[in-house]
């Protein structure tokens, strides 16, 4: 199983994020387990409860996993609704550009085939508020960009 890490945060913070999602999962399952079985419409309440729990747990984990992850296989860009993996051999460049629909600078990754992928990493200093974005100071952002370039050079077969 590939190992992925968030290059701009400590392992303690990553473990805390996973702990939060685990607690949300357990809390949701506890609530579902407490649904009554003796009510005349117990089957429909259980079906709705399980569907809502599945939606909530999936959303909680997707929110927790938002970010840019790196590993032996490449760069994984996790958004709430979508995950993209850019293999090191496909990586072309990393750069800052305006975020789509916001007055903020976002980290973008370009692939060799011309695709540009916006990441959920923004440069701090913007007044725009967005919950599912990581905001980094310029020095941290520069270190992240350089780390991605170095990892691409080390892991790419080119």
- Residues near 101 by beta carbon (within 8 Å), at least 6 away in sequence: none
Q: Tens digit of pLDDT for each residue in 110-157?
A: 999 999 999 999 998 767 777 778 889 999 999 999 999 999 988 876
Q: Tens digit of pLDDT for each residue in 80-118?
A: 999 999 999 999 999 999 998 888 899 999 999 999 999
Contact 140, 148 (CB under 8 A): no
Locate all alpha helices (DSSP H) within the chain, ordered by sequence. Answer: 11-33, 42-64, 138-155
Q: How far is the C-alpha of 119 from the C-alpha of 76, rounded, in Å?
A: 10
Locate all alpha helices (DSSP H) within 34-137, ordered by sequence. Answer: 42-64
Instruction: Please give the C-alpha separations between residue 141 and each of 9, 13, 85, 100, 131, in angstroms, as whole numbers.
Output: 12, 18, 20, 18, 18
Q: What is the pTM of this model?
A: 0.82
Q: What is the largest CA-CA distance in the chain?
A: 66
């Amino acid at each position: 199983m590939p190992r992925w890490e968030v290059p701009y945060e400590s392992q303690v913070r990553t473990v805390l994020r996973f702990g939060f999602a685990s607690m949300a999962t357990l809390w949701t399952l506890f609530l579902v387990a407490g649904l009554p079985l003796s009510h005349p419409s117990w089957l429909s309440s259980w079906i709705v409860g399980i569907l809502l729990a599945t939606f909530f747990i999936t959303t909680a984990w997707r929110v927790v996993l938002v970010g840019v992850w790196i590993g032996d296989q490449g760069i994984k860009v996790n958004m709430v609704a979508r995950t993209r993996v850019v293999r090191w051999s496909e990586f072309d460049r990393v750069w800052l550009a305006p975020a789509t629909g916001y007055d903020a600078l976002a980290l973008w990754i370009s692939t060799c085939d011309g695709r540009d992928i916006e990441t959920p990493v923004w440069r701090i200093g913007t007044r725009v508020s967005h919950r599912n974005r990581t905001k980094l100071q310029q020095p941290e952002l520069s270190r992240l960009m350089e780390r991605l370039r170095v990892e691409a050079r080390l892991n790419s077969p080119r």
